[in-house]
Amino acid sequence: MINNQSVTQKLIDIVGQEFVIVDKQDMIVYESDGTHDRGMPDYVALPSSVDEVSKLVILANESNIPIIARGSGTGLSGGSVPVKGGLIISLNRMNKILDIDPEKGIAKVEAGVINLEISNKASEFGFFYAPDPSSQQVCTIGGNVAENSGGPHCLAYGVTTNHILAIEVVLLTGDIVWFGDFNKENNGIDFRGLFIGSEGTFGICTKVVVKLIKKPEMVKTFLIAFNSILDAANATTAIISSGIIPASIEMMDKTASQAAEESTNVGIPKNSDTVLLIEIEGFEDEVTEQELLIKDILNEFDPIEIKLAANEKQRELFWKARKGVFAALGRLAPNYYLVDGTVPRTKLAPVLSEVNRLSKKYGLIVANILHAGDGNLHPCIIFDQQIPGNTEKALSLGGEILKICVENGGVLSGEHGIGYEKKEYMPLLFSNHDLENMKNMKNIFDSKELFNPGKIFPSSRE
């Protein structure tokens, strides 16, 4: 698609000149997300209302221009990269929390609202929003809906789809519809559930009604250092097998935990090989009982040290170490490729062993960060793209890790989506018949294949 002056003027008529970008230099910030994929858009528009989004979609539809919705650009599968050019509709100006209803325990927000801001506002009423991706300080709720994002606390609370009641969507025709119900789970055809995780290929999410959860009476957070990643993995399985479901169980291997320690001085022992971060919450009596049981289980695996956060400040430091680990890995190399695969929890130890073997085979450092409680792996492949061949090696290594996940009964993504980066691996998990059915479903919403083209589905031409 070549930039067309007539289209540009029509975009300006809809959102105003200040909110249309067509200069290539200015559009560079929109050519990528959190991955290494690149694609230059032809136009960028920043609407302020659902009516403006509708008009933009109608214009793009009439002009056969690809349409890509975008939030903060923190995605990790190439989902918002305009690989076929087109119009990026950036929803960052649509960032209002429209209503919080503590009586019903819901909030109505625009798609450009930052994830963490929902909890910050809801806390005034004694509530919080549970899904908490590591990027929650910057990622938008619209992007969370697109990728069905999870986070450390999804072990107990579930992922995005478990906390969304209704979604306002702009369809290819420009029609504005609601999927779901404001007040309860929908008993009819679950278009809400179908749309969540569709990665912007069905339409554009503009508003969301989310469930809020009452803040727990008590929260306790452990930081446990182990001699080996095997001990940490087995301890995780033992805790879940005992019947205890913590709010979260996070794991960092030696490379990741040492980087986190250098960044935060959280107190991880130097001789530690692997760290678990475990959080339990609920009523005081229940939490106190679980604390004792968890300590007994942990001691069976010869931990180096068990730290219990003494106060909220130390708890926040524990989480700062975990959620800031990807930035901390920048101390080791300028680039990383983050893989997102999920395996049965009982397969954690053998799969991590295979990841370590592949790391040595490729000669690249892999830092393993996991939502260990639900088997969601995030191997972080560290490299320098200035070294010829390093990027290709990192991507090949990531592909082999995904194959191992599938071979061990897992899936290609726990929360980052398929996007552009993983689409060639879809046949590992789905038959041709499965893929055709998925394409047919997309065609119901987008018969012209204008919404986020080139994503999810493998192409024999590529």
Rounded-to-integer distance, Cα 49 and Cα 309, Å: 44
Sequential DSSP letters for 345-397: GGGHHHHHHHHHHHHHHHT-EEEEEEEGGGTEEEEEEEE-TTSTTHHHHHHHH
What is Dmax (Cα atoms) for the chain? 70
40-59 burial string, b = 16+ CB within 10 Å, else e?
ebbbbbbbbebebbbbbbbb
Predicted confidence at residue 213, as pLDDT, reads 97
Predicted confidence at residue 2, as pLDDT, reads 55
For the residues 353-365, what does the mean pLDDT come to? Answer: 96
Rounded percentage of the chain residues whose pLDDT exceeds 90: 94
Task: Say what angle helices 390-407 and 348-362 make with each other, to 10 degrees.
Answer: 160
- 421 and 35 in contact (C-beta within 8 Å)? yes
Q: What is the chain's Cα-based Rg?
A: 22
pLDDT at 374 over 60: yes
The per-residue pLDDT for range 96-143, each reduced to its tens digit, is 999 999 999 999 999 999 999 999 999 999 999 999 999 999 999 999
Predicted confidence at residue 189, as pLDDT, reads 84
DSSP state letter for 73: S
Predicted confidence at residue 4, as pLDDT, reads 86
For the chain, the average pLDDT equals 95
The HSE-up count of residue 244 (CA atoms within 13 Å, CB side) is: 28
Predicted confidence at residue 462, as pLDDT, reads 45
- Nearest Cα to 275, choosing from 264, 284, 285? 264
For the residues 173-188, what does the mean pLDDT come to? Answer: 85
pLDDT at 7 over 80: yes
Local confidence band at 41 (pLDDT 50, 70, 90 cut-offs): very high
Predicted confidence at residue 459, as pLDDT, reads 83
Rounded percentage of the chain residues whose pLDDT exceeds 70: 98
List, in order of start, the domains of the chain with CATH numbers. 5-90 (3.30.43.10), 97-214 (3.30.465.10), 218-324 (3.30.70.3450), 333-423 (3.30.70.2740)
Q: Which residues pair with 87 in a beta bridge?
A: 43, 67
- 303 and 225 in contact (C-beta within 8 Å)? yes
Alpha helices, DSSP H, located in 49-147: 50-63, 115-122, 141-147
For the residues 227-251, what does the mean pLDDT come to? Answer: 95
Rounded-to-integer distance, Cα 278 and Cα 308, Å: 9
pLDDT at 160 over 60: yes
pLDDT at 31 over 90: yes
233-267 burial string, b = 16+ CB within 10 Å, else e?
bbbbbebbeeebebbbbbbbbbbbbbbbbebbebe
The per-residue pLDDT for range 55-91, each reduced to its tens digit, is 999 999 999 999 999 999 999 999 999 999 999 999 9
Q: Which is it for the CA torsion 62, 451, 441, 197, positive or negative?
A: negative
For the residues 174-199, what does the mean pLDDT come to? Answer: 89
pLDDT at 45 over 80: yes
Predicted confidence at residue 185, as pLDDT, reads 64
Interacting residues of 295 by C-beta distance below 8 A, sequence separation 6+: 306
